[in-house]
Amino acid sequence: MSRRSRSQARESGAQALRGLGFRFESRNGGSHLIVEDRFDFWPGTRVWIERRGPMRGTGLDSLVATLQGRDAPGPSPVDTMRDVLRDCREHLRASGGPESLLARINEFLDP
């Protein structure tokens, strides 16, 4: 996920939680939100974990569903894999990683 995408996700995540009436504390310029004193949420990466429990997940919809006590609509495995591969591709490009691996990732993401 690019810096711009993470920045946009930080802003939209906080706005959405505020609009839904959830209390949260913002840390590190909005990159870390403590939601309802129960969950840590990083809107830039869409990852959330329960502070004192086993629950964890990805995505704002999943967090909201958990806060509201309903089943979360999970992302499809293919969408999750695409997100992981996009992050890997970005890292490989930035670090000058192996071209063969970068080529395989590009084949999957950009058929």
Cα end-to-end span (Å), the chain: 19
Residue 16 scores a pLDDT above 60:
yes
Residues 50, 37 contacting (CB under 8 angstroms)? no
Residues 6+ apart with CB under 8 A from 102: 89, 92, 93
Residue 46 backbone dihedrals phi, psi, to 5 degrees: 65, 20
Rg from Cα positions in the chain: 16
- pLDDT > 70 fraction of the chain, expressed in percent and rounded: 88
Q: Which residue has the higher pLDDT, 84 or 42?
A: 42
Band (63; pLDDT cuts 50, 70, 90): very high
**pLDDT class of 111 with cuts at 50, 70, 90:** low
Residue carrying the six token digits 């990683």: 97
DSSP, collapsed to helix, strand or coil, labels residue 109 as helix
CB-based contact 85:77 (threshold 8 Å): no
- When mean pLDDT is compared over 10-19, 85-94, 100-109, the highest value belongs to 10-19
